[in-house]
A and B are shown apart, each in its own frame.
Chain A
Amino acid sequence: MERAKLAFLTLSRIGFLLAFSLLLAACGGGGSDSPAPQAAGATPGSSTGTQAGATSGSSTASGSDSADSDETTMLDLSIAFEDVPSTCRERCGLDYANPISQPARFINFEVFDAESGALVELSSPPQTDQEGRASIELSRGARVKVRVIASSQAERGSVSWDISVRDNQGSSERAQYPLYSVVTDTIVADSPSLEQSIELPSGWLDGAYVNRRDAAPFAVLDRMIRSAEFFAESETNLALPSLNIFWSVDNRPDETSIGTSFYADGDLWILGDADVDTDEFDDHVLAHEWVHYLLDRMSKDTSTGGAHDLTEFLDARLAYSEGIATALSCLMLNDSVYLDTFGNSQSQGFGFDCETGSQLAFVPGWFSEASIIQLIYDIFDDSRDGDADTVNLDRIALADVLFGKMVNQDSGTASTIYSFLSGVIEASPQNEQSILALADQQAIAVGLSAVDVLATGETNAGQSTEDGDASEIASILPLYEPIISGDSAKEVCLTDGFGQPNKLGNRRLMRFVIENSGSYRISVNSADPENGDPDVYVYSGNQLVNLGVSEQIGTEILDVELNSGAYWMDVHDYDLLFGEGAGSTCQTVALDAI
């Protein structure tokens, strides 16, 4: 049982941290045949042989105007990748008939001697500009190769990033995998100036991927860079931590590989399984997963993770995390239709309109991913599409909410749509009533004149669902059940009536404030001491403080050192979450100084 619990924990934030630590300890990997980095400034070869030229690029000598010395050659690099747009015009899918050549912007490259492999010292930074170009001064007669690397470290406006795309070869284990890179054929600097054009193809030919998919890792990298650039003018300094993206043609949606595209512990894992599910050209999917990274590393995200669907009744934290990730993907791409392509020839797709909700049948509320998508999209989109949509906050306000207001919120609260709305209203108090009107449209904070992080006054417990009954509703509100140290135990109830293990009513959030730092005991007891397996997780804001996940039937005792301040807990029953048809159960929870 304990092992099973830990296996599940790998799907939650803390679990991934534990797994990451284990993987770090275990990795070491096989041999690498990458050339060892060599000191810059190596002397290029002096051969004056004819230009070899890259096979899929083109290298041409140009006039001597740009070269100011007969001792040097100016090599003008132009790097682009073939982008395949996704579309839902006639039917959803990738539109291979209309590829777009996109500049490979802000990507790293190296120039090295064709014979010795020694890096050539460059007078300008080895990175393309925003048009995918770079000019390189070479010694006349040098014979060099250019390595184009799927990585980027750059700064634009108030944001900086460090992104790498690596080939995990279908493996789901975290390890040090090689960076995607392509190397040109030998370039001979035999004229005052040269132009080298490198086109990275998608590999699609005559209705199938028959060639190597060189464009894919650069398409993924470009989407990540563009996502970061969305906040470049936000007036908030955003030094994004290093991000590794694992993409491979062997990344399949099954248990022998990565399973799906997802974010975990600072890394993105992206599908590349041709004719089943590829995501390298699915911009919304890439942006959605990038937002998970952004929120986890720079904002506040306490999502349970796990399976979710747009029409399900979800845990408040999961609904917020998935909802905002999709809403921001639509905003960042300035395209309200979230699109995910898959299937034979990537000719099928799933679309969801962040503006209209695509007429999906869902019960609106704070537990609905679809409601949260529409609400957040409406607050920040340009269009005013309804009587209530009179708000159009900009990305400066968005950055202030995500990286300022929410980060500094009460540590006794998790991340939910209420913490987001509270931050938005704090950042833009003049729009409070308009924002509440939009929330009202989604059955969130209905009739309330104010909203706070605790969801005070919320009355929507998903009553309009056919599955809902009185006991389920009693298991859902208030969103935070307060508990006081030294008071008698408080009863909370749980239900799997909306599904499991991350659905509405599965877990109760409890909140407490510690006045005096010291040792405390948290006791959770099942109403039926012969059944149930209570568990408890204690958090301060984004941080997991401690957890009690013993296998003991009917009770969980957690002794924990707590500093003064506010905390929140996730209290649940392991058997209810992972058993079969448990229905509902109740627990008593007590907090005492020891």
Chain B
Amino acid sequence: MISLFVNVFLLVVALVGCAEIGTTPEELNSKQVIWSVSGEAPSKALQKPGHPLRLGYVVTMFQQSLVEVDLSNNGRGNVLAYSLEAKSESDREPLVLAGVQTPIERKTRLSFSLSDVPERFVLRVDYELDGAVHQRSYSIPLRTSKNRDIRTCNEEPCYRDDPI
């Protein structure tokens, strides 16, 4: 009985608290982080020529399937547009999740809902550098195939032997 009173009291306090800061219980719930990943794109320090952009990203999945992707451009070049696609190995066609058009500040947030988490996002970037417009695509991994078997060899010769 006492615990029931305590729970009711806590619920009332929580509701009053939410009302005071203008947030409903549903909204409060929706901002609870389920998982988050961050990194840089391109990720490898050793690179081919022609990568003036350095993109930092933070992908955060909240309850109720809400996703926020925070992007920051730390390199040369002015980003004109971002387009974010879902990509999994089985996908034939890209699924565009979110996008934003020019002008874009150094830091940008994309928000959208996502019911089925893909293997990764692919970020398409239009940017301007020295008066010319370019495009680049970057891979943002979300789920790694940790259990995937990587075949290595104990002795040579060792062949794939695909049929033709």
Contact = CB atoms under 8 A, between A and B. Distances in A.
Interface string B55-89: 00000000000000000000110000000000100
Interface stretch (A169-177, A374-382, A409-417, A545-553): A169-177
A147 interface: yes
Contacts of A37: 157
B161 A310 contact: no
Contact of B162 (A57, A183, A342): A183
A309 B76 contact: yes
B93 to A, nearest CB: 9
B152 A30 contact: yes
A178 interface: yes
Interface string A153-176: 000000000000001111100011
Interface stretch (B2-10, B25-33, B104-112, B129-137): B129-137
A322 B51 CA distance: 13
Interface stretch (A60-68, A257-265, A393-401): A257-265
A56 B152 contact: no
B160 A343 contact: no
A170 B158 CA distance: 18
Contacts of B141: 252, 254-256
A527 B96 CA distance: 54
Interface bracket on B: 35 or more
A55 B163 CA distance: 9
A253 B43 CA distance: 7
Contact of B43 (A259, A288, A343): A259
Contacts of B160: 167, 178-181
Interface in A473-520: none
A208 interface: yes
Given A285-B48, A309-B52, A352-B49, A32 B164 contact: no
B120 A350 contact: no
Given A260-B48, A309-B76, A369-B49, A182 B163 contact: yes
A139 B34 CA distance: 67
SS class of chain A's interface: helix, strand, loop or mixed?
loop
A18 B92 CA distance: 41
A238 B95 CA distance: 50
B153 A322 contact: no
Nearest to A249: B89
A180 B148 CA distance: 19
Contact of B164 (A55, A342, A343): A55
Given A258-B44, A305-B45, A310 B159 contact: no
B46 A176 contact: no
Contacts of A185: 163-164
Interface of B: 39, 41-52, 54, 75-76, 87, 92, 94, 120, 122, 124, 130-131, 134-141, 144, 148-164
Interface of A: 11, 27-32, 34-37, 54-57, 147, 149, 167-171, 175-185, 198, 200, 208, 212, 214, 252-256, 258-264, 273, 275-277, 279, 285, 288-289, 305-312, 322, 326, 338, 340, 342-344, 348, 350, 352, 359-361, 369
14 contacts: A167-B160, A175-B152, A178-B151, A180-B159, A200-B164, A255-B39, A259-B42, A262-B44, A262-B46, A276-B137, A308-B49, A310-B49, A344-B137, A348-B137
